[in-house]
Amino acid sequence: MCGIAGVITPDGRLPPPDALEKILARLTATLTHRGPDGQGRYVKDNVALVQTRLAIVDVANGVQPFVASDGVALIANGEIYNDLALRREMKDAGFATGSDCESALHLYRRDGETFAENLRGMYAVAIHDPARGRLVLARDPFGIKPLYYAETPAGFYFASEPQALIAAGVVSPTLDTAARDEMLAFNFTTGTETPFAGITRVAPGETLVIEKARIVARLQRAALPASPILEQDDADALKTWDEVWRDAVSVHQRADVPYGMFLSGGIDSAAVLAMMAQLNDRPVLAFTAAFPGTAAHDERDGARAAAAAAGAAHVEIEVTAADFWRTLPAIAEAMDDPVCDYAVVPTYLLARQAARDVKVVLSGEGGDELFAGYGRTRAALRPWPFSKRPWRRHHLAGFGGLRNIPPGWRDGMTLIESHARDRYGSGVRALQAADCAAWLPNDLLLKVDRCLMAHGVEGRVPFLDPAVAAFAFSLADRQKIRGRRGKWLLRQWLADNFPAAAAFAPKRGFTVPVVEWIAGEGRRLGPLVARQPGIAELCTPGSVEGLFGAIDRRNGAAAWSLLFYALWHRRHIIGESSRGDVFAALSS
């Protein structure tokens, strides 16, 4: 895993050497946390590329950029899981290293701009084709790996993180208020716009062709198949799933460095553990977080039982209020593309712990989306008047202290839902597709990417393998949802193959006691949050102090979102340091 960045200029010339050096040095320095094992640079014609490397495959020789005999050059952030098969197909291509990402270079040389159609993996790729005078950017279909760009008069710039573009002086940290409003409504943003004016996401599955610093072509690769539902009996579906899952987890373990996994008390991580245990001769290293002394459900008992049954080496970390106050500013700094998801706290701390022992972590993101595990999916399918459509309530609507709730706060989600219905109708698959296009890339995967890469750890998500997605999306509704439970087939597979997971036992949702912690310091915290510029322009006088002074179950989520946004705004818009704990950061 790596950080990548670069520029293509419109007039055939790069900036003067001193100016270019300053830009490239700042891009590299800002992305070093993503790739602490080495740096690469490429400069030719009107294109300059930089890469910071986290060495996972072919540690000794997989240094980027890769440059082919015809001059085509590539830098990449990702893992290509069908690399071995591609090498067999292109055995005469002239591979120079054992890096899995080199296969993407030779695919482009063979297939041109459609090369990403044949990649199985997670990736953000940049290719310079000097003979055609073009730069090509591509991102994996689920958006597992991030990629951003800025179109300016001086050139077209791109980077793995927005903060690299800001640090390099490409764009100023100006707030896009429409994206901010959407983020406060959902706790994440949809589509390609970010809360930074002038910085845009490459969409999941998108390939951009850039010539003379302008986008001249866009290609799109879908994450989910358009194929119809495959009618098959349960026994056949379970047998096929076992084969598909075995292959997916196997290829996601390919690494020349130590790897482990994140284990909660849930179904998805249990499925990852169960298959890893079957595939590995050594004990799987599993990491679990808990919140002692709080009202949050303690998942350690379930995780311990699963780890013991799998013969795993189990590492538990206890996340306390002191950890929360001490690390939240650093977490807000890492989340430059903001996600107000309280799970950032344990994810960040788990990654910090895991970095002591491994460089790769497998996790269960994607299981709920592909197997219809969310309660909101089942709620949307109830007959009227009991049905509840997802994402209909503004997250801060109950707070009452916002100066304004813009009428278009839901436009992005409405568009995504419309596209999902156009392709899949109005049933389960349309709801799943909407989650995969909105919530998954811009909340769950973004959170995992930033929290892990802040510590130089690569996160892998085997549920989002193309073969897994194709299988799961072809299942009949009854093989996803039965009665009041989702993920039926996955639960049944676990019941048959890993009984310790207690797949059909009642489950409690995963919670982080951020509201409990904030309530304990609410009266001290309220005035500090209220006086932050980002908050003052959003909220009416006195409303924030009132909120933090009387936190309860109904308004606690609003307090968390405003606190996180205040820290994020200070760091990424105002440019203040994130050193010290929450109180020091807000008081400085």
Share of the chain above pLDDT 90, in %: 89
Question: Phi/psi at 365 (nearest 5 deg)?
Answer: -55, 140
What does the pLDDT read at residue 409? 94
Q: What pLDDT, on a 0 to 100 scale, did the predictor assign at position 299?
A: 86
- CA nearest to 513, candidates 290, 225, 296, 201: 296
Q: Is residue 552 very low, low, confident or very high in pLDDT (cuts 50, 70, 90)?
A: confident
Instruction: Report the length, in residues, of the chain.
Output: 588
| Residue 454: strand, helix, or coil | coil
Tokens for 300? 């350690």
Amino acid 333 reads E
Cα 560 from Cα 553, distance rounded (Å): 12
- Tell me the helices (H) and strands (E) count for the chain, helix number first: 24, 17
User: Is 80 exceeded by the pLDDT of residue 94?
Assistant: yes
pLDDT, mean of residues 437-447: 97
Closest CA to 303 of 319, 322, 284, 316: 316
Give residue-wise pLDDT tens across range 163-178: 999 999 999 999 999 9
Q: Is the pLDDT of residue 319 over 90?
A: yes
Tokens 């292959």 sit on residue = 247
Q: Which of 251, 300, 301, 308 is nearest to 284 (CA)?
A: 308
Model confidence at 95, in pLDDT bands (50, 70, 90)?
A: very high
Domains within the chain, CATH numbers bracketed: 2-220 (3.60.20.10), 234-501 (3.40.50.620), 514-587 (no CATH)
pLDDT surpassing 90 at residue 90: yes
Give the residue among 45, 120, 123 at the shortest CA–CA distance from 89: 120
Region 86-101: mean pLDDT is 94
Mean per-residue pLDDT for 155-159? 98
Other Cβ atoms closer than 10 A to 77: 31
Q: CA 564, CA 159: separation in Å to the nearest integer?
A: 24
- Specify the 3-state DSSP secondary structure of 492: helix
3-state helix, strand, coil in the chain (%, to 5): 45, 15, 40
pLDDT of residue 535: 97
- Give the H/E segment covering residue 125: strand 121-129
Give the bridge partners for 127, in sequence order.
74, 136
Residues 6+ apart with CB under 8 A from 17: none
pLDDT in tens, 179-207: 999 999 999 999 999 999 999 999 999 99
Rounded CA separation 538/168 (Å): 29
Q: Where are the beta strands (DSSP E) in 244-294?
A: 259-262, 285-290
pLDDT in tens, 482-526: 988 999 999 999 999 999 999 998 877 678 999 999 999 999 999
Eight-class DSSP state of 77: E
Instruction: Name the pLDDT band for 459 (thresholds 50, 70, 90).
Output: very high
**What 3-state class would DSSP assign to 505?**
coil
Backbone angles phi, psi at 91, to 5 degrees: -65, -20
Determine the pLDDT at residue 263. 97
Segment 142-158 shows an average pLDDT of 97
> Which residue matches tokens 């084969």?
243
- Per DSSP, 499 falls in state G
23-37, 38-52, 329-343, 549-563: segment of lowest average pLDDT = 549-563
Q: What is the mean pLDDT of residues 105-115?
A: 97
Name the phi and psi angles at 4, rounded to 5: -130, 155
| Pair of tokens at residue 408 | 């278009």
Rounded to the nearest integer, the mean pLDDT of the chain is 95
| pLDDT band, very low/low/confident/very high, at 1 (cuts 50, 70, 90) | low
CA–CA gap between residue 497 and residue 500 (Å, rounded): 9
Comparing 506 with 72, which gets the higher pLDDT? Answer: 72
3-class SS of residue 200: strand
Dihedral angle at the C-alpha atoms of 39, 148, 444, 526, nearest 10 degrees?
100
Q: What backbone torsions phi and psi does residue 376 show, to the nearest 5 degrees?
A: -65, -30
Distances (CA, A) of 460 to 104, 464, 491: 19, 9, 22
Flag whether the pTM goes above 0.85: yes
Averaged pLDDT for residues 6-25: 95
pLDDT (mean) for 464-473: 96
Answer whether 175's CB lies under 8 Å from 193's CB. Answer: no
Nearest to 571 by CA among 332, 340, 324, 345: 332
Beta sheet of 200-201, edge-to-edge order: 38-44, 47-53, 2-8, 155-159, 148-152, 200-201
How far apart CA 23 and CA 8 sit, in angstroms, is 13
| CA 197 distance to own-chain centroid | 21
3-state DSSP of 28-75 = HHHHHHHCECEEEEEEECCEEEEEEECCCCCCCCCCCCEECCCCCEEE
**pLDDT attached to residue 296:** 86
**What tens digit of pLDDT does each residue of 261-313 get?**
999 989 999 999 999 999 999 999 999 999 999 988 888 889 999 999 999 99
Q: What amino acid occupies position 429? A: R
Asked if the model's pLDDT at residue 252 lies above 90, the reply is: yes
Neighbouring C-alpha atoms within 13 Å toward the C-beta of 316: 15
Alpha-carbon distance 357 to 363, whole Å? 16
Distance in angstroms (rounded) separating the CA atoms of residues 194 and 578: 21
CA–CA separation, 187 and 192 (whole Å): 15
